[in-house]
Amino acid sequence: MIKKLYKKIIPEKNRNNIHVFIQKLSYPLYLGNKYYCNCCGKSFRKFLPKGNIKRPNAKCPYCSSLERVRLLDLYLKNETDIYKKENIKILHFAPEESLFIKLNRPGVTYIDGDINPANAQNIIDITNIQFEDEYFDYIICSHVLGHVPNEEKAISEMFRVLKIGGNAFVMTLLNQNADKTFEDPAITNANDRLNHYGEPDLCRLHGNDFSKRLSKSGIKVERINYTEKLDIETLKKGSFGNGDREIIFKCTKQK
């Protein structure tokens, strides 16, 4: 009853802010040297568990970055100029706070968006993006497409607003043992979705055909397992996951 009353009285965006504030107050309890978060630059004796089936050492106690966010941040820093280049336009769906802080900087047109106003500054439906063709230099779309009923329309819209020569960095939950994506329109119940897809609000569980699903005319897709470029010590300290959530799909729009 208390939880229901709390949710009814306090708006979702405020609840999110309260949760982040409380977590940052308690982070000193986890300080140590075993793990390192490259997103916030802090070290810890352990990370927090996360997920329906709890993944150990998944969530940073300070900035809340997950395995996939830390790996993407490291990739963007080392392999792109997105954190340095000025006069660029970035579209960031379902923005992660740790990436939001780094991307939203002077000299950059940064647009974050989500269909839920509690999760971003701008309400953006990925299947009907309110920007002109070839507007953005970069798009970040991490763990969004699996939740969108009309995935094909979302992909089409995303690439429509991407400039020629621009890059979209896409991530999703993968079943690396499946050749094809599994989706069944008859599965609508949250519990059934959890059992079949791994999360209660997913519409599908992507398989190894995800690159093909992203491939469109004029779009080059590169599947990147960035952990393969990291040494063992960095992998252990960063806790970058097992690849189910952390594969980066770099989509480049060509002429």
20 versus 252: the higher-pLDDT residue is 252
Distance separating the N- and C-terminal Cα atoms of the chain:
57
Provide the token pair at 212.
Answer: 């093909």
Mean of pLDDT values over 163-172: 98
Say what the pTM is.
Answer: 0.93
Determine the pLDDT at residue 25.
Answer: 85
Report the distance separating Cα 36 and Cα 252, nearest Å: 31
Who contacts 33 (Cβ-Cβ below 8 Å, separation ≥6)?
43, 45
- pLDDT, one tens digit per residue, over 108-136 is 999 999 999 999 999 999 999 999 999 99
Report the distance separating Cα 139 and Cα 160, nearest Å: 11
Provide the token pair at 125.
Answer: 């439906």
Instruction: Answer whether residue 17 shows pLDDT above 90.
Output: no
DSSP 202-253: -S-BB-TTHHHHH--TTEEEEEE-GGGGS-HHHHHHHT---STTT-EEEEEE
Of the pLDDT bands very low, low, confident and very high (cuts 50, 70, 90), residue 18 is: confident
DSSP 78-130: HH-STTT--SEEEEEES--HHHHHHHS-TTEEEEEEESSTTS-SEE--TTS--
Provide the token pair at 189.
Answer: 């119940």
Mean of pLDDT values over 22-47: 94
Percent of the chain topping pLDDT 70? 97
Of the pLDDT bands very low, low, confident and very high (cuts 50, 70, 90), residue 20 is: confident
Determine the pLDDT at residue 124.
Answer: 98
Mean of pLDDT values over 172-178: 97
Where exactly are the structural domains of the chain?
A: 2-59, 79-253
Determine the pLDDT at residue 172.
Answer: 98
Determine the pLDDT at residue 94.
Answer: 97
- pLDDT, one tens digit per residue, over 85-106 is 999 999 999 999 999 999 999 9
- pLDDT, one tens digit per residue, over 218-247 is 999 999 999 999 999 999 999 999 999 999
Determine the pLDDT at residue 6.
Answer: 61
- Partnered with residue 182 across adjacent β-strands are 205
Q: What is the identity of the amino acid at 199?
A: E
- Partnered with residue 110 across adjacent β-strands are 90
DSSP state of 10: S
- pLDDT, one tens digit per residue, over 56-70 is 999 999 999 999 999
Determine the pLDDT at residue 158.
Answer: 98
| CATH number of this structure's domain 79-253, picked from the four choices 3.40.50.150, 3.30.160.270, 3.30.2310.20, 3.30.1330.10 | 3.40.50.150
